[in-house]
Each structure stands twice: as structure tokens, then as C-alpha cells.
Structure 1
Amino acid sequence: MESQQKRQRTTRLAGRNLRRKLSRETDASSSIVMQITEVVDEEANLVVAIRRHLEVLNSGFSDREAVKEAAAAISSLAKIDENVEMMVENGVIPALVRYLESPWSLAINPNVPKSCDHKLEKDCAVSLGLIAAIQPGYQQLIVDAGAIVPTVKLLKRRGVCLGCMEANAVIRRAADIITNIAHDNPRIKTNIRVEGGIPPLVELLNFPDVKVQRAAAGALRTVSFRNDDNKNQIVELNALPTLVLMLQSEDPSMHGEAVDGKLIFIDNNGVEFLLELLYLSGMKQQKYSSRALFELARKATSFAPEDSAPSSPTQRVFLGAEFVNNPTLSDVTFLVDGKQFYAHKICLVASSDIFRAMFDGLYKERNAQNVEIPNITWEVFELMMRFIYTGRIDITKHLAQELLVAADQYLIEGLKRLCEYTIAQDICVDNIPLMYDLADTFNASALRRACTLYVLEHYTKLSSETWFPMFIKKIIPEIRTYITDILTRPVQASSTVKIRPTQQV
């Protein structure tokens, strides 16, 4: 009896569990059906919404506010990738292209469109940029709909409604369209150049709005990648210096727009590309290349006296001008041009590695009371010692080269740089080879780079000299080193006026 009752209870429990399981499965199935139904309904609602907005865009230009609202709604939908395919299938691209050039801009004023018209064009440009980024086929559809010409016109809107944020946004989004429709599409890149899209992009590199600058740099990078004709036009328009400086900016977002770890829009050999133009191409290309390199160097460096006189590599002790050639506490006497010059070893040793070796090493001068100085005139030696004792002197041009030789001999780097700066003031067409040889002989890097800068600035005039072809090949390694050095250090913003050597032609 008990056993039968137990079996009945077990049967009832099993029945209830089975009913619960079936109920759960039914609920799950119902949930899946409901989800599918919701997805279908959402897609249907999306199609309805797209068609409704499209109908407004295609209805004509009578209701400006309705068109603006429809364009804004399309722009919001385009920000979701899953919506784009359905938008394209329903024909939004031609309608958006149609409104890249607002029909009300010219009706109101041919020069000053209102902000509302900027907003309409911006929303259309945003949508087209997002659509183009989805797949290559959409890029071609946008171009086939005639988007390039009105987009280029938008890029030229920089002179209209200055300071208007909506106008700036339109320009930036137009640059984004160029970037996205040209990506990995050689034919569209060529079309953009043919329709005049590159010059306004180059002009936008100097636009007051930094976001517009970034967008323009990104577009230039894209249209020039693996396209030599576009690349050459960008070089001809002298965009290289600005673009490379964007690379050097400490703003990481600038790096992303200007480069991909390389020089802007020029594969792995950006510097080499410009250097080859200097000696392997025609005069026109040489002029463009030299100007680009010069502008880059000029904007990124200075040659001011204070920059040219860094501290010596060893610590210096400035005893002061009153101790120059003063026998008070002097512990060494130099014989220069047959005359005595009183000095103090502690000051000399702290200022020059050569004097340190002389008086703190095993040389005979260590214990000598009188040390003869050959091959240096009294006037030059006195100036050198005055620099050691004070850290500053006025260098006259007629003594600068002799003083450079003395500073190099005794490894007084600060004095050497001051001499280089003074000598650089006399660089001209007639003496540039001699100046460069002088810099090379005494490893005067600042003077050598001043010569390099002069060559780049006056390339056209120098190129008429018979000796110049051999000379430019000789200094190509220095130009390469100079530019590479610039590219490997960040540009520092400064309000200080940059000083360069006086240029003589």
C-alpha cells in the first residue's frame, strides 16, 4: 500500500516537472518569435522612416525646415552601420548629393549663406562620409551621383562666414568625404585632382580651426597614397613643410591625420623623395623641393645666438672679468706671442677637457709654471680666455674664423658655437663652398647647417653657378641628416622671435 502511494506521488511530481519544462520551452519559443517579430517590425519601421525622409528630400525646395529635419534624421541614421545598407538600397545617395550645395544659399546671398544652410549641407556631408566608409561600392555610387564637384566647392567655403562654427563643420565634413571616397580607389583619387580638389585642401592646412586642418591633412594623405600625380601636385603647392610640421606636433590627433608613422603621404622614403628632386629632376621640381625643405627647416629651427651657445660638456667656473690676465692667485702663466698671460688652473680645468688633460693628467704642462701657446695670436687667445672666465664675449667678424680654430682645438663648445654664428652672417653665393669646407674641417655643425639652410633658400640662384652640381651632391648627406634630425624631435611652441643668419646674395 505504502509502495503504491509512493509511486503515485512520484508520478504526480514527474508530471508537474514535465508540464513546467514544456511551459518553459513554449515561453522560450514564444520569446524567439517575439524577438524575430520585433526585428522585422524594426526593419519595416526603418524602411518607412527612410522613405518618409527621402520623400521630403525629393519633394523639392519649397519647405526648407522640413528638408533640414529630414537631412538631420538621415545623418543620425547613417551613424549606425547596420542602417547604411538599407539607406543605400532606398536611394538616399543622390538626394544627399543634391543638397551638398544648398539651394537657398544663393537665393539669400551669393557670398554669405545663413547658418541653417550650413547645417543642411553639413548633415548631408556627414551622411555621405559615413556611407562611403562602409564599403568600396558605396564610394563609387557617391562619385557617380556627382559628389566631387559640390564637395570641392564646400572646401572653398573658407572665405565665407568667417568664424562661423557651422561653416567650419561643413568644410571639415567635405574633407572627410574626400578621404572616404578616395580610400584605396586610384580612379577616384585622379578624379579629385582633375576636379581641382587638391589646392583647396592645401590651403586648409593653414585654416584657423585645428579640426579643419586635421581633416585636410587626412584627405591629402589619402589622395596622394600611391598616386604620383597627386603627390607631385601637393609638392608643387608647397604643402610639405606644413604637413611635416603637423607630424612633429605634440598633439597625438595631429599625428593620426598627418602620417602613419612615416613622413606625410610619402611612403617610407619621404626625405629621399625630396632629396632626389634636388639633383635627379628638372629645375622646376628642384625649386619646389628646395623650397619645401627650406620652409620645413625654417619653421622648425632657429639659429639665435642663445641657441647657438650651449654649455660646455664639462662644468665651468666663471671667476669673472677682473681675473682675466690677473697675476692675483695665478698658478700658471702662458707665453703667447712672446708675452705672459696669467691664468688660474681651476677655471681652465672646469671649462675645457684639453686643459683638464693638460693640468690634471700626465702631460709635461702639469707642473710647468710657464706654458707656451703656439699658432694662436695674442688677440685670439685673450678672447678665448675672456670667454672661459666670463662665459660671454663680443666676437668681431675678422677674428671669428681664427677664434673658431682655437675653440675647436681646446674643445670649448660654447665659444665654438658663438664663432659659428658670427661666421654664418657672412655666408653668400661666392663663398658658400669655402664656408661649408670650413665647417666640415672643424666639425662646426651649426655653421654646416647654416650653409645647408642657405643653399635651400637660395637654390635657384646657386644653381646657375658652374660648381653647384658637384657641390649639391656633396652636401646631400648633410641635408638628409639635418631634416632627419628635425623629424625626430618635437616642435616646441614658442613666442620667441627666431633669428637666422643674415642672408647675402
Structure 2
Amino acid sequence: MSSVSGPDASENERKGQKRKHSETFFPVGEGDDTDLALREIQMHISVLRTTYSLRAKDRDAARQAAHALADFAKKGGNIDMIVQTGAVDALVPHLAAPPLLHPDERIAYEHEVEKDAAFALGLLAIKPEHQRMIADAGALPALISILQRPATYGDRVVYGAIRRAADAITNMAHENANIKSRVRSEGAIPPLVALLECPDVKVQRAAAGSLRTLAFKNEQNKVQIVECQALPTLVFMLRSEDVGIHYEAVGVLGNLVHSSPTIKKRVLEEGALQPVISLLSSRCPESQREAALLLGQFSTAEPDCKVRIVQRGAVRPLIKMLEAPDLQLKEMAAFALGRLAQNKDNEAGIVHDGGLRPLLELLDSKSGAVQHNAAFALYGLADNEDNLAEIVREGGVEKLRDAELILQASKDCVQKTLKRLEEKISGRVLRHLLYLLRSTDKETQRRVAIALAHLSGEDDQRLIFCDGGGLEVLLDMMGSTMTPKLQQEGALAVYTLAKKAAALSPVENAPPPPTPQVYLGEQYVNCRTLSDVSFVVDGQRFYAHRIALLASSDAFRAMFDGGYREKQAEDIEIPNISWRVFEAMMRHIYTGTVDVTPDIAQDLLRAADQYLLEGLKRQCEYAIAKDLAVDCVSDVYELAEAYHASTLRHQCVIFTLEHHEQTSALPIYTSMIQRMVPEIREYIHRVLRPKQAPPPPM
């Protein structure tokens, strides 16, 4: 059985939590505006460097300076300028308050300076090139210390500082494997896990977002997060009414289970399956997307997990997501369905619940990932014989064949799907399709006939198309004046059928004509020696020999043996034929061969037909067929009809079908096809004739 690789989940995963505060970036001004911004940034950095003290005035000034730098950093074009001016070294000390001189001394603007400094550093860390600089400046221990600060319920200032610290760690570690490991070694994971149970919802979201980033593609971080007992809390968070919380929680779990069968099993044991399925119906598209991704990952946990996911109600919301306007929702839903469709019962259930049509429609997506996930899901659905008739009835074969796919992997997947369908067109499936071929619904008839033309085996073609009426359905499509597309689909199907049935072209496949027993040879062409008859052509005499003519053609035999006046004549007038054509015809009679050039091929065909020279006629047909073109095929077909050149007629038919896209643009296409229909029918019936049984052994 064919196999095909599914979509790579690592490419489908969100690569960690999106970095915070990535508001619309405003470019830095030019000229005076740039100089003014630089002077202001330098002033704020100078304030930070000179105000690291417990004095209330200094603390207030530091708070305002850090907040101002954060405002500048929101305008993304300013970030490099802020960093290059020395902001990192100026901000990091303010992540911690200066030491108290007396234990009872109160710190002015307690936690506020640290919050603004963390906020500013987090924004600077949005650019990957600044992440290591911030870490090397000592920011990580200070940020982790903020995470560990005790806070009573309702202490919004402390919660704000903790949240900004978690966000800063998220941005510093984003797509930076080295810093992810440094964060772990500095001890940030335990306090982040503890903060999942913080009373403040924003802190919970920030902590989960940070864990989400730290868990992405870092196995040691994953292990420590699980060892810190994060899973039970994360599973409970999936049921939160707060959209942000369940969105972050499902994202953390998705990154934890990826490429980790052990963690995947533990997450399921904690009861995550049902709340994740429930998130498919969330009002938050991001949570829906992450839930679909996670279900796709769960489906590989153990053999029966796919069945449990379907039994618990995942299929219908996933199918509904396929029709959502959000492209990423479509992508993840198709990903999940593709994983679930690796089980026979699930395959039938997905089709029964209406998943086939939207998956086929996704092949038209402009997204390569969406196309590939849909193609992989369809590959799974095609494995179940119960789905075959529905795939055909839905026009799936045409969709798969015509899809303009972006990725080579998708093209390979679709080809394997078509091959899988082809392998199943037999027995019960074939009988079902033949039953549908007799449907009163014309569209169903057409789709079945098209599918069978492309997929049926050689041994079944006569049963389907001659005995079962499939050919008449295709011919009706070709002669239809409803739409050009209908004509083209019918023509392509008939051409495919003819091509599979006859390995050679009609001219090459035609039986050889009878050959005369006497060839006098080249030296006797137009030779007086032993000549007993002459022909007058274009005023010139051509010397010939009756024995050669009698052996070659019934027309000459009748001329010399019958009651024609030419019987006794020594000079016979040949009208309506040029010397060059006559000389070529006689050369063939004397030698059995002749060079049929394009400029005389059609006139030579007429002469060969007139004088019943089947061998020459075949050579002419072959020569004309080699030069067939879209703009002349109709004229050549008329020529072949007029001079009984059946193999050339068949070749014109096959050429017209093969080049249906070009020939269908001809103004005379419809009338030409309608004229060819009897010829097509005759040709197809001939090539689909029953195979002769081999002779019994002697």
C-alpha cells in the first residue's frame, strides 16, 4: 500500500509565544526630528545613570525616564538607536531597588521603577540581535528576582512588575536557544510555574506565555516545567472563561507535547483531552487553532487515541473550522483531520459528517501549508472503500487532478491519493460506481464517467464504457454546448481512456496493409526496357510495366483485365494529377517505398485512394499525421473522410482530444467535435474490443 508523509507538525506549530508589545512601528523621522529624538533618548539614559538611589526624587525621575524609553521603543525604528546609546546598561540596575540603609526605610515608588525598566528592556529584546546583550548585562537574575516578589491579593503594582518581568523573559528567549537554556539555569522556571496560580489574570497569562516560549524546541526546559508540576494547573486553565488564559495554556501544552511521547501521555492522563476538544468551539480563533494542533499531536499518542478524539465530538467543530475565514484555522483543522484520518472508522466518519467537500476546496487555497494539510487528509480518506463513491460523486478526482499545488510534497501526496483510488476501483467499489453511472442526475453521471476514465484498469474498461454506457456520457459532454469546461473535461477523459487502451497512435497501431508480391526495383522506374505500357501525365510520357501494376493494385488490374478502353492502349492519359505525384506513386509501386514530403502528401493520398494502393495510402497518412496542428486538424479530418483514410481520421480524433485546451478555442470546435463523435465512438469501441484468449497449449 502506498504511504505518504504527513505535514510536519514543527512547521505548523506557532514558534513560541508572540513577543509582547509589537504595536505598529513608526519609523524614526529624518533630519531635525531624528536629532531631537536622539537628544531626548540621551537625556533619559543620563537620568537613569545618575538616579540610582533611594531618594524619592531620584526614584521618580528614574521611573519617568524608563517609561519614556519604553514609549520610544514602541516605535520600532527607535530600538537600535536606544540600544546604541547605552540604554541597556542604564536600565538593568533599575530592575532592582537600591539597598535599604535602614530595615524600616520605605522605598519610594516601590516596584514601579522596576516595572518600567523591565517593560523597556522587554521591548528592546524584540530584536533578536539585542537579546544576548541584555542577558549579558545581568538582566536575567534581576528579572527572576522580580518574579519571586511576594504580593498580596490586589497588589496591582507588584503584579504589574511581575508581569513586565515575565514578558521581558519571553521576548529575550524568543527563538533564542541559548537564552532559553540560560533562563532555566538561572532558575526562572519554578517561579513562572508558581505564577500560573497567581490571583491576577494578567500575571497568569504572562507566566504561561513565558513558559510557552521556553518549552518550544528545548527538551530540558520541557522536562523541568513538567517536574515543577505545571501540567495540572495548565489543564485547569484550559477550562478558564478568560480567553487569554486558555489560549496561552493550550499553547504551552502544544509546545510541551511536541516530539515528546512521554509528556504527551502525561498530559492526557491529567485529563486534557476533553477541555482541548471543547476549545474547538471557543469564541477565540487562536485557542481554536492551538486546540486543533494539539489534537493532531494527541492523535499519535496511542493507537486508540484517534478513535477517542472522534468519539468525544471533535470532528464536527474541526469541519466547521475548515470553512472559517481565518487561514490558520483552516490549516490547523486540516492538520488535525489528516491525523485523525489514519483510522478506517474515522475516515468514514469524517466524510459522513461533511468533511470531504471543504477539504477538496482547500486544494484551491493560496497557502502551501493549507493545501498540503488538506491533501494529506484526503489521502487518508481515500484509504476507506466506503468513501470512494462519495469522493467521485463530489468531483474529487477532477479536483485532485486539476489542483494547482504550491509545494512538491503536496503534488506527491495528491499523486499517491490518485494511485490509492485507482487501486480500489474494483469489486464492490466498481459495482457501486457502475450503479451511480446509471443515475438520473447528470452531474453524478459525468463525475463517475470522468473518474473511471482516469482510474479504471484496462480489464474493466469495456465493461464500464461500452457495456455500462460510460462512453456515451463522455461523448455527450464533448458534444455539449453548455460550457467549454464540460467539453474539455469530456475530451480529456476520452483521450485518457483511448491512450490507456491503445499504447500506440492510431496510425502506428493500424494493421499493416497487404503488400504486392512483385517489386521490379528502382532501375525500372520510368524505364523503356521491357516497358509495355506508357502513361501521359502533364504532357510527359511515363514508361511502365503491366506486371508491376497488376501486382500492386486492384484498380490497375481492373484497368488492364476488364472492359476498359485502356486495356489495349499503349498510351494512357492520366488527368487531374501532377507529374511529381504520379512519379512518386509509381516509385512506390516499383520499390515498395517512397519519400512522402509534406508538399505532396495530401495529393499523393488522393492518388493512392483512387488507385487502391493501401501501402502508399498508409505512408501518406503517417506523413500527414506527423504534421498535424491545431489550425489544420479540421481540414485534415475532412480530407481523411473524403479519401477513406480511417487511420488518419482516428489520428485527427486523438490529436483533437489530446490538445483539447487549444482546439476548444477554435470557432468551429463544437461543430467539429459533433462531426467526430461517431468516429470517436467507433474508435473507442475498436480499441476496447475484448482481448483474444491465447491459443491453448499444444
TM-score (norm 1): 0.53
In structure 2, the partner of 1:239 is 451
Compared CA separation, residues 174 and 332, structure 1 to 2 (3 A): same
How far apart are 1:428 and its partner, in Å?
A: 2.6
Compared CA separation, residues 205 and 450, structure 1 to 2 (3 A): farther
Mapped pair 1:263 → 2:465:
yes
Taking the aligned partners of 2:447 and 2:544, their CA distance within structure 1 comes to 63
Amino acid at match of 1:398: D
Whether the 8 Å contact between 1:223 and 1:230 is mirrored in structure 2 is: no
How far apart are 1:352 and its partner, in Å?
A: 0.5
Q: 1:461-500 maps to which residues of 2 (within 5 A)?
A: 461-488=662-689, 490=691
Compared CA separation, residues 317 and 293, structure 1 to 2 (3 A): same
Q: 1:80-479 maps to which residues of 2 (within 5 A)?
A: 190=390, 207=419, 215-218=424-427, 219-223=429-433, 225-226=435-436, 228=441, 231-235=445-449, 239-243=451-455, 246=457, 248-249=458-459, 255=460, 261-263=463-465, 268-280=468-480, 281-301=482-502, 302-303=504-505, 307=509, 310-312=512-514, 315-479=516-680
Runs of 5+ in structure 1 lacking a partner?
Answer: 1-100, 108-121, 129-141, 153-170, 180-188, 250-254, 493-505
Taking the aligned partners of 1:394 and 1:478, their CA distance within structure 2 comes to 29
Q: Deviations over 1:88-139 (max 9, x none)?
A: xxxxxxxxxxxxx9975799xxxxxxxxxxxxxx9x98xx9xxxxxxxxxxx
Amino acid at match of 1:274: L
Amino acid at match of 1:373: I
Taking the aligned partners of 1:277 and 1:469, their CA distance within structure 2 comes to 11
Any idea what SS the aligned residue of 1:296 has? helix
Whether the 8 Å contact between 2:522 and 2:591 is mirrored in structure 1 is: yes
Runs of 5+ in structure 2 lacking a partner?
Answer: 1-298, 306-341, 357-379, 402-413, 694-698
In structure 2, the partner of 1:167 is none
How far apart are 1:292 and its partner, in Å?
A: 0.9
Any idea what SS the aligned residue of 1:437 has? helix
Taking the aligned partners of 1:392 and 1:191, their CA distance within structure 2 comes to 53
Q: Which contiguous aligned blocks of 4+ residues in structure 1 show a shift greater than 6 angstroms?
A: 142-149, 194-202
Taking the aligned partners of 2:692 and 2:302, their CA distance within structure 1 comes to 44
How far apart are 1:303 and its partner, in Å?
A: 3.3
Taking the aligned partners of 1:426 and 1:319, their CA distance within structure 2 comes to 31
Taking the aligned partners of 1:291 and 1:350, their CA distance within structure 2 comes to 44
Amino acid at match of 1:241: A
Any idea what SS the aligned residue of 1:347 has? helix
Taking the aligned partners of 2:399 and 2:542, their CA distance within structure 1 comes to 66
Whether the 8 Å contact between 1:305 and 1:418 is mirrored in structure 2 is: no
Amino acid at match of 2:687: I
Q: Deviations over 1:381-438 (max 9, x none)?
A: 1110111111111111011111111101101011112112222233333323322221
Compared CA separation, residues 458 and 359, structure 1 to 2 (3 A): same
Taking the aligned partners of 1:274 and 1:145, their CA distance within structure 2 comes to 32
Number of equivalenced pairs: 321
* Percentage of pairs with the same residue: 38
How far apart are 1:488 and its partner, in Å?
A: 1.8
* Aligned-CA RMSD value: 4.5
Compared CA separation, residues 194 and 486, structure 1 to 2 (3 A): closer
Whether the 8 Å contact between 2:653 and 2:679 is mirrored in structure 1 is: yes
Compared CA separation, residues 143 and 402, structure 1 to 2 (3 A): closer
Q: Deviations over 1:336-367 (max 9, x none)?
A: 22222222222211110001111222222223
Amino acid at match of 2:609: D
RCO comparison, higher one (Cα < 8 Å, 6+): 1
Amino acid at match of 2:621: E
Amino acid at match of 1:379: R
Amino acid at match of 2:471: V
Taking the aligned partners of 2:393 and 2:511, their CA distance within structure 1 comes to 47
Amino acid at match of 2:432: T
Taking the aligned partners of 2:583 and 2:637, their CA distance within structure 1 comes to 27
Whether the 8 Å contact between 1:309 and 1:417 is mirrored in structure 2 is: no
